[in-house]
Structures are given as C-alpha cells and as structure tokens.
Amino acid sequence: MTFGFASSSAGSLSTSASAASASRLLEPAEWASAGIPLLRNPREVVSGLHARHLPGISTAIVAVLDPDERLCASASFSRRPAPADGWMFRNALLAQLRRVIPHDLRRRTPVRTAILVYCREGDARWTEEDGAWMWGLRDACTLHGLRCGAYITLTHDGWHVLGEGRSGRRPSADSPPEPFAMTEAPPLTPRTGGPVSEVLRRAAAR
C-alpha cells in the first residue's frame, strides 16, 4: 500500500516536472504571434556579429541594438552540454546582459532591442532547443527592460531568422568572418565653435 502511494506520488512529480519544463519553451506559432520587431537588414546584423565573435557550434551571441539598429553591446558564450531548459537559458542571457549594458527598467516602454544568434548543428527547422532559447530571450528581455527581438540560428547551411522565413547562405557556421563589422552607436562628440576652437584648430595645423 505504501509502495503504491510512493510510486504514484513520484510519477505525479515527474509529470509535473515534465510539464514545467515543457512550458519553458515557445512554439513557432507563439513566437510568430508575439509581435517580434523585424530587422531591417538581418544579413548585415548577423555578418557583423559573426565577424566580431567568430562563433563555433553551441555558441550563443546576445546583442542589444538601438532604435536605428546600431550595436550598443554584445556578448558571446558557449552553451553547456545539458538538456535544453528555457529557465537556464534565461539566466545565462540575463547574466550576459547585466555584464555588458545597464538595464532599462525605469523606462515606461523599452527603447533598445535584444536579439540572439545561436550557432548550432542541424538545419533551419525549429527544434525544442530553439523553443527554449526563445523563451529564455523573451524572459531575459522583460527582466532587463528591453524589447525582445529576433532569434537567429546559424547552421552549416547559413543563417535563418526563425518565425520570419528570412535566411541567407553567408555567414554560416563554417564560413570565415567577412571583412566588415556592423555599425556601432558613435560616441558623443564635444561641441565645437567659437574663438577657443579656432585657436586650437590653428595650433593643430602648425
């Protein structure tokens, strides 16, 4: 009697754990209906991040873009060999975001957008691992005050923006970096003008 109760309880806990794990991923239809902002030039974005980080298989690149689609910050890290779990992916992405850029939680509406490029084996078809990364990206963006942007896979066939159908052959998981990087937001320049600036200009010209 006791054994039967324990077995039933263990089975219930196992079912609950499986259901909780399954809920931490997004299906393609859910992602497509989430209002993810479209990238104006996904190839330029992917090529720039590829040239900057040179990702290998199982490498994730999280990048933050300003409203003009210029790069504010980015970070790359390797995925640990463990079962796909959106909660773990969320924590990893959030840790990287906190490391490279301040949060925007004080804003009423998000201004900057975070995107994720994941280099993996396989083809462009959606996998449960992709669904876990999507869930993790969306949740990490919410906790860091960012808009959730595109999820892009990088495979041996090329790059693929999941949920949009846009793709390209280069860069791929095998290609060398291209000879350009994506535009970064320029630093603030000091104001010029007036007699002091003219004196400095003449001194520099000597």
Q: What are the pLDDT digits (tens) for 118-172?
A: 999 999 999 999 999 999 999 999 999 999 999 999 999 999 999 888 999 999 9
Q: Please state which of the ranges 14-23, 58-67, 68-77, 94-103 shows the lowest mean pLDDT.
A: 14-23
The residue among 138, 161, 128, 136 whose CA lies nearest residue 46 is 161
Distance CA 112, CA 100 (A): 14
Mean predicted confidence (pLDDT) in 168-188: 69
Cα distance between residue 33 and residue 9, in whole Å: 37
- DSSP-based three-state secondary structure for 187: coil
Domain at 24-168, CATH homologous superfamily: Cytidine Deaminase, domain 2 (3.40.140.10)
pLDDT at position 95 is 97
Backbone angles phi, psi at 158, to 5 degrees: 135, -155
Average confidence (pLDDT) over 99-107: 93
Summarize the confidence of residues 79-86 as an average pLDDT. Answer: 90
Q: Which residues contact 88 (CB under 8 A, 6 or more apart)?
A: 82, 136
- The whole-number pLDDT of residue 164 equals 86
In the prediction, which pLDDT does 196 show? 38
Q: What is the pLDDT confidence band of residue 22, given thresholds at 50, 70 and 90?
A: low
